[in-house]
Structures are given as C-alpha cells and as structure tokens.
C-alpha cells in the first residue's frame, strides 16, 4: 500500500481529538475509531459544557418573562441566532429560524411556502442523490397540492447530469431542492451555478446543507440561495437543534406552519394573528439549551478554522481513497471530481452490514446501508454501501485502522484467520 502521506497536520487540528471526551473512551476494549461523522459528529467539551452551564446557571423559558432568569435565557437564545446568522453570512438574524434540524427545516418550507402556492401543473425539482429528508416532504406536498416531482439524474461517478438539468428546469418549475454535499457519495454540488439556473427560470432554490456546514465555509448570500437547511448535530453541536435560513422577503410572506405559543401576536376565537418572523415559525418552547450549544459549536469550529478543517479532511479523503482503493476486491462508489470527506465502498463477497459488524469488533465505527438515499442506491443497482466519513479529529491512524479492519474482514470471509 503506497498511499501518499498526508501533509503535516495543522497544530490546532493535531490537538483536536483531545477536545472530544468520547474519543478517549475505549470501545470493545480498543481505541475508538469513529468514522460515522456523516450520521452525527462527536461533541467537544466546550459544547457539552455550554449546555450544562446553561442548565446550571441560566435555565428559564424565554420571551415575555419578567424575571431576571427569563431575560437571561432570552438573551442567550437571541445571541445564538445571531451567531448562526454570522456563521451563514445571512443579512439579518430574522432570516434564521431555529428548527429541530434539516428535516424539520425542509418540511417547514414544504408546508409554509409550497403548500399554499403550488397546484396542478407546477413542478418541484430534486436530484437523484437526495437524502429521504429532501424527497419525502416534497412527495407529501405534491400529494397535497397536485404538483409534480421531477428528478435530475446522476452519472456513474455520482455527479449531477447538468445537461439533463436544462431540459428539466422550465417555466413550471417553482422550486429546485438539492443537496450541497451528498451524504451517501460525498459529491459536492456546484451550488451557486445550480441556484443561478433555478433563478433563470423563475424558480426558488433550497439547499440541503446537512453535510456541508461542518466541512467548508458557507455564505448564503454569495451562493444566492433562497433557503438553506442544516442540523446542529452534524456540526459538533447538540441533537434536536438546527436552522433554516430563508431570505427575509420570502419568510415574511409566508404564513405559519405549526400553531401554538410564541408564534402568535393575538389569539381570539374569531381568529388569530401571527408574530413577525422568525418567531412565526417557532411555535412552542424551543430547544433553548440546544441553541446555546449550537452557538458554542460554531465558536469551536471557527476557533479551529473552517479553512484548516477543509484542507485536513480533503487530505484524509485522498489518503483513504488511495489506501482503500488499493485493496483488491474493494469498489468505491462515488468518484466525483469534487468530493467532501465521505467514502462509500463495497467489498466483493461481503454484505455491507456484515462488513460494518466485523469493523465494529475491531473498534472501527462506520455506517452500512442505504444511508437514507434509496433512490440513489437503486440508481447504482446496489442495496447499500459501507461508508466511512471524516471529521476534523480523524487522522492517518484512523484510516490505517479502517484499511486493516477491511483486510481482516476479507480474511475472515475467505476462511483464513479463524
């Protein structure tokens, strides 16, 4: 195996694993090699502490509270929104709606923007590489409105077929919803170009950023998109918190989705009126501690530096692609020209689930299955893949452990080493 050595790690990154307490715990009496970061990332102590400190020192319900603690909690929640705003380079904090995550953010747009506006003859365009979260909400709203769902195909390498896009985008297209980075293949899509093409036919563009925000800087204004969704837990933040960015004019023109406390201005039995955005879309007590934790995660990521993270993860990807690709019987799925740190693969004669189980015994955590992208798996004629996905704390030793464990699985299946 002659994989190229990775360029010396950035000093901040070389120390990063120590920031994540869980990485120090052995799993099955072995060093934990955590390569399931596309499913969820581990949390640095700074995030764990931020949530715990909130509960210890500042916990109260937000808004309308006359007492000191409630005002303190409200300030922290509002500050978290501004933190996300600056991270996404949104023009104003009102453009950030806190949600449970990417899935809820997409459903919000489906129900609050699409549902009242689209009807028979209208089209929503998605791509073949979408996560179910960016397919099913549109299927539901198509059933509700009579609109039609169209799909941009993907080529053998796992890239969008951009020539087909021209034929699919047309005057009937009202929304083009696509992923920034494919969770199953790692393909990075040309977001600004796709947004430009959607706008050229008068359609809006929604970007699923679940797999992008932790790995590269995102500037929603530079991308030009209308909506951008992401989850905190894939960004070293807590579960149960995420955000929808929406252009102010669009959010402001949208009616509410869920009803309840906090999203109203007045309530009468004859009819109610709605709060301004973003509160209009945040019915009920939100995940206040989660928002505080998300802000801490953004602080952490920015202290390490997104540029350094991107360079490091690309080096890991290049190294792993070469090292795993050199193992006979390994087939890489997804070889796009532009990829993020996700490596999907098959090992001849071993079902991905069996492979995942054997790797687990070796202390290597990967994911096996369809990765919530069944249409994409069908496109490749496979039931699923094994997937290793990288984060800022992974290193060469993790890749060596992955490759060694794959070789061990092959030996076991050949009947050697029993």
For the record, the structure tokens of 73 come out as 């909690």
- Which region among 82-90, 96-104, 292-300, 306-314 touches ligand PMP (by CB under 6 A)? 96-104
State which of residues 131, 150, 174, 197 lies at the interface with ligand PMP (CB under 6 A): 131
Reduced to 3 DSSP states, what percent helix, strand and coil does the chain have, rounded to the nearest 5? 45, 20, 35
Tell me the three state secondary structure of residue 174.
strand
Cα gap 287→274, rounded to integer Å? 21
Tokens 């093409």 sit on residue: 197
Cα gap 377→375, rounded to integer Å? 5
- Which region among 1-9, 97-105, 253-261, 288-296 touches ligand PMP (by CB under 6 A)? 97-105
Q: Supply the minimum distance, in Å, between the C-beta of residue 231 and ligand PMP.
A: 3
State which of residues 211, 287, 321, 344 lies at the interface with ligand PMP (CB under 6 A): 211
Tokens 């369809």 sit on residue: 370
Q: Supply the minimum distance, in Å, between the C-beta of residue 120 and ligand PMP.
A: 28
Confirm or reject binding of residue 344 to ligand PMP (CB under 6 A).
no
Nearer to ligand PMP, 95 or 208 (CB): 208
- Closest among 25, 81, 56 to 232, alpha carbons compared: 81
Query: Is residue 372 among the annotated active site residues?
Result: yes
Pairing of strands 242-246, 204-208: unpaired
Nearer to ligand PMP, 58 or 159 (CB): 159
Cα gap 388→402, rounded to integer Å? 8
State which of residues 42, 58, 74, 179 lies at the interface with ligand PMP (CB under 6 A): 179
**CA dist list (Å): 103 to 98, 228, 241, 292:** 12, 12, 11, 20
State which of residues 47, 87, 101, 185 lies at the interface with ligand PMP (CB under 6 A): 101
State which of residues 36, 208, 226, 395 lies at the interface with ligand PMP (CB under 6 A): 208
Nearer to ligand PMP, 3 or 88 (CB): 88
Confirm or reject binding of residue 102 to ligand PMP (CB under 6 A).
yes
Pairing of strands 367-369, 123-127: unpaired
For the record, the structure tokens of 326 come out as 């050199």
Nearer to ligand PMP, 133 or 173 (CB): 133
Choosing from 128, 142, 225, 372, the catalytic residue is: 372
Confirm or reject binding of residue 385 to ligand PMP (CB under 6 A).
no
Considering only residues 228 to 247 of the shown chain, the ones binding ligand PMP according to CB under 6 A are 231
150 beta partners: 125
Tokens 């009947």 sit on residue: 415
**CA dist list (Å): 330 to 324, 380, 383, 393:** 7, 16, 16, 25
- Which region among 2-10, 61-69, 204-212, 217-225 touches ligand PMP (by CB under 6 A)? 204-212
Nearer to ligand PMP, 181 or 330 (CB): 181
State which of residues 183, 189, 389, 410 lies at the interface with ligand PMP (CB under 6 A): 183
Sign of CA dihedral 61, 64, 70, 74: positive
Pairing of strands 123-127, 148-152: parallel
- Closest among 236, 257, 177, 197 to 20, alpha carbons compared: 236
Number of residues that bind ligand PMP (CB under 6 A): 14
Cα gap 320→318, rounded to integer Å? 6
- Which region among 28-36, 83-91, 206-214, 270-278 touches ligand PMP (by CB under 6 A)? 206-214
Confirm or reject binding of residue 37 to ligand PMP (CB under 6 A).
no
User: In sequence order, what E strands does 209-263 have?
Assistant: 227-231, 242-246
Confirm or reject binding of residue 103 to ligand PMP (CB under 6 A).
yes
Q: Supply the minimum distance, in Å, between the C-beta of residue 198 and ligand PMP.
A: 18
Considering only residues 281 to 320 of the shown chain, the ones binding ligand PMP according to CB under 6 A are none
Q: Supply the minimum distance, in Å, between the C-beta of residue 171 and ligand PMP.
A: 28
Considering only residues 66 to 85 of the shown chain, the ones binding ligand PMP according to CB under 6 A are none
176 beta partners: 125, 205
Residue positions annotated with a catalytic role: 372
Which residues make up the interface to ligand PMP (CB under 6 A)? Answer: 38, 101-103, 131, 133-134, 179, 183, 208, 210-211, 231, 372
């Amino acid at each position: 195996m002659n994989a190229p050595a990775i360029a010396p790690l950035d000093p901040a990154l070389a120390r990063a694993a120590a920031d994540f307490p869980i990485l120090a715990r052995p799993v099955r009496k072995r060093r934990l090699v955590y390569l399931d970061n596309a499913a969820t990332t581990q949390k640095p102590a700074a995030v764990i502490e931020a949530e715990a400190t909130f509960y210890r020192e500042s916990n109260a319900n937000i808004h309308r509270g006359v007492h000191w603690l409630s005002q303190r909690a409200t300030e922290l929640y509002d500050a978290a929104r501004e933190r996300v705003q600056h991270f996404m380079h949104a023009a104003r904090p009102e453009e950030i709606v806190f949600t449970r995550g990417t899935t809820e953010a997409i459903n919000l747009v489906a129900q609050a923007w699409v549902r009242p506006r689209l009807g028979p003859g209208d089209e929503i365009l998605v791509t073949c590489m979408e996560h179910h979260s960016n397919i099913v909400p549109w299927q539901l709203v198509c059933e509700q409105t009579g609109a039609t769902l169209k799909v941009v195909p993907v080529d053998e390498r796992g890239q969008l077929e951009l020539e087909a896009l021209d034929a699919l985008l047309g005057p009937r297209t009202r929304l083009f919803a696509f992923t920034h980075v494919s969770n199953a293949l790692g393909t990075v899509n040309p977001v600004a170009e796709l947004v430009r093409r959607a706008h050229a036919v008068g359609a809006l563009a929604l970007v699923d950023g679940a797999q992008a925000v932790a790995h590269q800087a995102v500037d929603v204004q530079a991308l030009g998109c209308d909506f951008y969704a992401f989850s905190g837990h894939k960004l070293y933040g807590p579960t149960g918190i995420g955000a929808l960015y929406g252009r102010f004019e669009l959010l402001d023109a949208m009616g509410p989705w869920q009803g309840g406390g906090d999203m109203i201005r007045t309530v009468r039995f004859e009819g109610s009126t709605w709060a301004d955005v973003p509160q209009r879309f945040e019915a009920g007590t939100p995940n206040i501690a989660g928002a505080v934790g998300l802000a801490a995660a953004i602080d952490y990521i920015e202290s390490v530096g997104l540029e350094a993270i991107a360079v490091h993860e690309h080096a890991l990807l290049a190294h792993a692609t070469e090292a795993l690709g050199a193992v006979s019987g390994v087939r890489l799925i997804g070889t796009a020209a532009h990829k993020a740190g996700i490596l999907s693969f098959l090992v001849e004669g071993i079902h991905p689930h069996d492979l995942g189980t054997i790797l687990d015994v070796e202390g290597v955590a990967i994911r096996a299955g369809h990765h919530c992208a069944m249409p994409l798996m069908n496109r490749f004629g496979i039931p699923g893949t094994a997937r290793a996905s990288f984060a800022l704390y992974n290193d060469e030793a993790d890749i060596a452990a992955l490759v060694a464990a794959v070789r061990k699985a092959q030996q076991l299946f050949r009947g050697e080493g029993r």
